Amino acid sequence: MLAAPVEDLVHALKYEGWPELADTMGRELAKIRLPDDDRSSLVVPVPTTSKRRRLRGYNQAELLAESLAACTGRPLRRALERRSEGRSQTALTPAERRENVRGVFVPSATEGDIAGARVLLVDDVLTTGATASEAATALVAMGASCVTLVAFARALP
């Protein structure tokens, strides 16, 4: 559960077909002061499944990442792909979420080279951290020197 009006923004972006909200939300992400802020960090969105991308017409995390990258002058890299459709995370327990995303992220065929890079991993919502953790693990396995998660919202317990 998120607090309003953040919940309304995330829901509209993710489920109601309002991709234009991502620019405003991404500008807000760009205001976050990060520890050890490195302006050369690559911005990498958490990929969604191909099915959800087709249904929505976009990946909400990618739109947020594009806006964040544009606002901060950081390079955007679509370094990860999601190779498994899996189940929706919304109704799963934390343990089920971890299992549902285990091993689903692989290097992108076109933009996978991030060896030695500092990465800002961008997602719309942090719930249990299962997705972010698995994506960060994949990025580190690809050679990222550091991965920092930036999410627009944090779900309340």
Residue 1 domain-assigned?
no
27: pLDDT strictly greater than 80: yes
- Residue 50 in any domain: the answer is yes
The model's pLDDT over 48-82, given as tens digits with 9 standing for 90+, comes to 988 889 999 999 999 999 999 999 999 999 999 99
Domain extent at residue 148? 6-154
Query: pTM for this one?
Result: 0.89
Residue 1 has pLDDT above 60, yes or no: no
Whether residue 16 is contained in a domain is answered as: yes
Number of structural domains the chain divides into = 1
Query: Any idea what the CATH number is for the domain that residue 120 is in?
Result: 3.40.50.2020
Alpha carbon of residue 118 to chain centroid: 15
Domain-located, residue 84: yes
Interatomic CA distance for residues 59 and 91, integer angstroms: 20
Mean pLDDT of 88-92: 68
Please report whether residue 23 resides in a domain.
Answer: yes
Mean pLDDT of 6-33: 93
